[in-house]
Amino acid sequence: MSLRVKNDVARGEPFVIEIDGEPIQAYPGETVAAILIVNRIALVRTVAAHPITRGYYCGMGVCWECAVRINGRSIVRACMEPAVKNLQVETCLNVGDL
Amino acid sequence: MGAGPAGLAAAAEFVRFGTPCTILDDQKRPGGQYFRQLSPEIQSTEQNPRLLDVCGHRLVEFRCETTVWDFPAPRTLAWVSGTGNGRLNTRTLILATGAYDRPAPFQGWTLPGVISAGGMVNLYKSQRVVAGSRVVVAGNGPLLLTAAQCLFQAGVEVLALVEAAPFATQVIPQFPGLMTQPGLLGKGMSYRYGLWRRSVPVLEQQVVTRARGDHWIENIEVRPLDDKGKICRERRVEFDVDALVTGYGLMPSLELTRLAGCRHSFHSLGDTWVPERSTDLETSVPGVYVVGDGAGVAGYQNAMVEGRIAALAILNREEPSSRVSAALKVAIRQRCRRQRFSQALSNCYRTPLDYSALVTPDTVICRCENVLFSEIRPMLTDKGSVPSLARVKSETRAGMGRCGGRNCIPSLVRLLSSATGQSSETIALPRTRPPARPIRIGDLFSEALPDPDLPADPHSPRGVKDR
């Protein structure tokens, strides 16, 4: 099933954003975090040369687990960032990155 | 401060009596968590609650996407927004900062696809997106029912609801208290009926002890608890899932009341510090009021009454009138009823679970700094020195990440308490320092800051009672 619920709601025209160089479909009104979840994209971080994966957790700006780099600007919480056309998202941050 | 149910209800009273006010909130749109709105770009027939309209009233200045990060003076707040920064001097201040999901670490809880109950509800409310298609909802408390309800509405297969409390046996003696709010009781019962009608197994007095997966959650393990709260090692069930929604109740956000210098006392049932308040909900700092879940979690209906009480008390103090004081008396009586309900509800969800038993050596305790329990344990059991959160923090960096310790300090308190036998209220919390939220240094360059006003002993937490 699609993780985008269709009951009782109508979404606008889809557009494309870029996540780690890959084109990914998005809908108006969605946050970057929602698009990451729908597409099962994990955030990979490096801790002492070991990769760990993280993702959306609190959904209200508390935990910063969904931190990404957007259009070269870091650190941005994906759960607070609305997706717009041609947005460039980088998911690989290191622990302690600024 | 805060445009959730409590803050908006306060603003609505000011508007009713013709008094101007300013609302600050760090989100884009008003509503807080409970009244979180669907994105305006997504069309729906759903109506926004009328309470939100107060933000557009001519007497109300609504400043969204504004983060308050310090109180340089008791009623002066320092703020940053996307477009600037500054100080706001207030005559009276109502803090309505709300609550967040209480962390309860277990093996694998950092895997993508494991999301908090609040996070699941928000995702559904604001974007009509769900976290998975085969989901288990697990933890403790009424928010799990709300999360399950969102998943049902989305047509998701809920494999089980795992509740750490023996709810079915605890609910019966609480009925008199629950009956004080028939509307909320009915809602809860309809949610329970929804689980039964869809044949979703409700596994009571059980917990998720482990989540496994390669890069995303794939499988979880559930084990029963005995009556003393110990996890049974002999029995277990597994579920193959693509998401796990987990929540163990809510924690009040205390950073700002602590920075404001309010006195706090320990609330044992909630297992947390809460700001001390008068019947008018004023804190120990004159002119600073705290309302809603940020002062102790009791739900949105209680939060709205508390917001009204604070606003009416302020109005009555500024310009006493019989109309205002009569409304204040009514609101205070209503609050007693609301509190009776939330007390009864908390009693239904009392769990014997010993949270430290969920933690394994490779469990991440501090998510931001990726600190494992195995790195913290030596400091908790070291006979040569007195274990303290300050030591854990300075040696491991647990609590020094972007979340400001909100996702690990409550767990560290429980682990320290369980390792040393100290009660949670005797464990000193690390000092809350500005900024209360991460902000950009660049945002502050245009501001001429006076010298900081620090206490003589830098280790004493601001606002927590000296002992």
Look at residue B464 and tell me whether its pLDDT is greater than 70: no
Q: Which residues of B254-280 are buried (b: 16+ CB within 10 A; e: fewer)?
A: bbbbbbbbbbbebeeebbbbbbbbeee
> What rounded mean pLDDT belongs to chain B?
93
B266 closest CA partner among B286, B296, B233, B244: B296
- Residue B190's contacts (CB-CB under 8 Å, 6 or more residues apart) are none
| Closest residue by Cα to residue B215 from B110, B86, B103 | B110
Within a domain: A96: no
CATH number 3.50.50.60 given to B5-100+251-319: yes
pLDDT over 60 at A98, yes or no: no
Buried b (16+ CB within 10 A) or exposed e, B104-141: bbbbbbbbbbbbbbbbbbbbbbbbbbbbbbebbbbbbb
Annotate B404-423 with DSSP letters as a single string. Answer: TTTTTHHHHHHHHHHHH---
**Chain A residues with CB-CB distance to B440 below 8 A:** none
Which of the four pLDDT bands, split at 50, 70 and 90, describes residue B249?
very high
Measure B173 CA to nearest chain A CA, in Å: 33
Q: Kindly state whether A62 is in contact with chain B, defined as any CB-CB distance less than 8 angstroms.
A: yes
Residue B22 dihedral angles phi and psi, to the nearest 5°: -115, 135
What lies within 8 Å, CB to CB, of B423 at 6+ separation is: B417
> In which band, very low, low, confident or very high, does the pLDDT at B466 lie, cut at 50, 70 and 90?
very low
Structure tokens at B392: 């854990």
Residue type, B99: A
pLDDT digit string (tens) for B375-427?
Answer: 999 999 887 888 899 999 999 999 998 899 999 999 999 999 999 999 999 99
Record the tokens describing residue B148, joined without a space.
Answer: 């399950």
- Residue A96 is predicted with a pLDDT of 61
Q: What percent of chain B has pLDDT over 70?
A: 96
Is A1 among the domain residues?
no
Q: Distance (Å) from the C-alpha of residue B315 to the closest C-alpha of chain A?
A: 32
CATH number at residue A82: 3.10.20.30
Q: With bands split at pLDDT 50, 70 and 90, how would you rate the model's confidence at B224?
A: very high
The CB density around residue B173, as the number of other CB atoms within 10 Å, is 11
| A83 domain-assigned | yes
The stretch B14-36 carries a mean pLDDT of: 96
pLDDT band at B467 (very low <50, low <70, confident <90, very high): very low
Contacts 24+ apart (CB under 8 A), B51-58: B51/B5, B51/B8, B51/B9, B51/B12, B51/B304, B52/B8, B54/B8, B54/B11, B54/B12, B54/B15, B55/B3, B55/B8, B55/B11, B55/B23, B55/B30, B57/B11, B57/B15
Domain membership flag for residue A40: yes
Q: Which residues pair with B266 in a beta bridge?
A: B273
Q: Evaluate whether residue A85 is within a structural domain.
A: yes
The shortest CB-CB distance from B128 to any of A5, A37, A45 is to: A5
* Residue contact A12–B368, C-beta within 8 A: no
Q: Is A76 on the interface with B (CB under 8 A)?
A: no
Per-residue pLDDT tens for B420-445? 999 999 999 988 889 999 888 877 77
Q: How confident is the model at residue A74 (pLDDT cuts 50, 70, 90)?
A: confident
Cis, bond preceding A75 (omega within 30 deg of 0): yes
From the list B39, B118, B119, which residue is nearest A29 (CB)? Answer: B39
Report yes or no on A9 lying in a domain: no
- Whether A55 has its CB under 8 Å from any CB of chain B: the answer is yes
pLDDT band at B449 (very low <50, low <70, confident <90, very high): low
For chain B, which residues make up each domain, given as ranges? 5-100+251-319, 103-248, 359-426
DSSP A29-64: T-BHHHHHHHTTPPEEEEETTEEEEE---SSSSSS-
Helices (H), B113-174: 117-127, 143-153, 167-171
Q: Is the residue at A56 inside a domain?
A: yes
Q: B103-248 adopts what CATH topology?
A: FAD/NAD(P)-binding domain (3.50.50)
What CA dihedral angle connects B170, B171, B175 and B178, to 10 degrees?
120
Sign of CA dihedral B386, B389, B390, B393: positive
- Tell me which chain B residues have a C-beta less than 8 angstroms from the C-beta of A8: 44-46
Q: Which helix (H) or strand (E) holds B259?
A: helix B255-259
Q: Candidates 3.30.460, 3.30.70, 1.10.10, 1.20.120; correct CATH number of B359-426? A: 1.10.10
Q: What would the pLDDT profile of B155-201 be if each residue is shown by its tens digit?
A: 999 999 999 999 999 999 999 999 999 999 999 999 999 999 999 99
CB contact under 8 A, B116 and A3: no
Q: Is B333 helix (H, G, I), strand (E, B) or coil?
A: helix
Q: Beta strands B114-116 and B243-248: pairing type?
A: parallel
Q: Which residues of A touch B121 (CB under 8 A)?
A: 59
- Has residue A63 been placed in a domain? yes
Answer whether B105's CB lies under 8 Å from B213's CB. Answer: no
Mean pLDDT on B32-58:
93
Secondary structure class of A65 (helix, strand, coil): coil
Higher pLDDT, residue B115 or A72: B115
Q: Of B26, B35, B106, B127, which to mutate for an interface test with A (greatest number of A Cβ within 10 Å)?
A: B127
pLDDT tens sequence across A39-63: 999 998 887 777 889 999 999 999 9
Whether the predicted pLDDT of B262 surpasses 90: yes
User: What's the token pair of residue B122?
Assistant: 């928000």
In whole angstroms, give the CA distance from residue A85 to residue A3.
21
Q: Does A8 touch chain B (CB under 8 A)?
A: yes
pLDDT digits (tens, 9 = 90+) for B171-182: 999 999 999 999
Phi-psi region of B2 (alpha: psi -120 to 50; beta: other; left: phi over 0): left
* Residue B45: per-residue pLDDT: 86
DSSP assignment letter at B50: G
Q: Do residues B225 and B122 lie in contact, with contact meaning Cβ atoms separated by under 8 Å?
A: no
Six token digits for residue A14: 């889809």
* pLDDT above 90 coverage of chain B, percent: 85
Task: For residue A60, give the nearest of B46, B100, B128 by CB distance.
Answer: B100
Alpha-carbon B338 to chain mean position: 18
Q: Which SS3 state, helix, strand or coil, does residue B451 take? A: coil
Which pair of structure tokens corresponds to residue B81? 């927004």
* Residues linked to residue B248 through DSSP beta bridges, in sequence order: B140
- Looking at the structure of chain A, the number of domains it has is 1
Nearest to A95 among B44, B154, B370 (CB): B370
Q: Is A7 exposed, middle or buried (0-12, 13-18, 19+ CB in 10 A)?
A: exposed
| pTM of the predicted structure, to 2 decimals | 0.93
User: B104: which 2 tokens?
Assistant: 């309860």
* A34 lies within 8 A of chain B by CB: yes
SS3 of residue A77 by DSSP: strand
Q: What pLDDT is recorded for position B452?
A: 67
Residue A94 predicted with pLDDT over 90: no
Q: Is A49 on the interface with B (CB under 8 A)?
A: no
Lowest mean pLDDT of B106-115, B131-140, B282-291, B415-424, name the range.
B415-424
- A61 and chain B: CB distance < 8 Å anywhere? yes
pLDDT on residue A71: 93
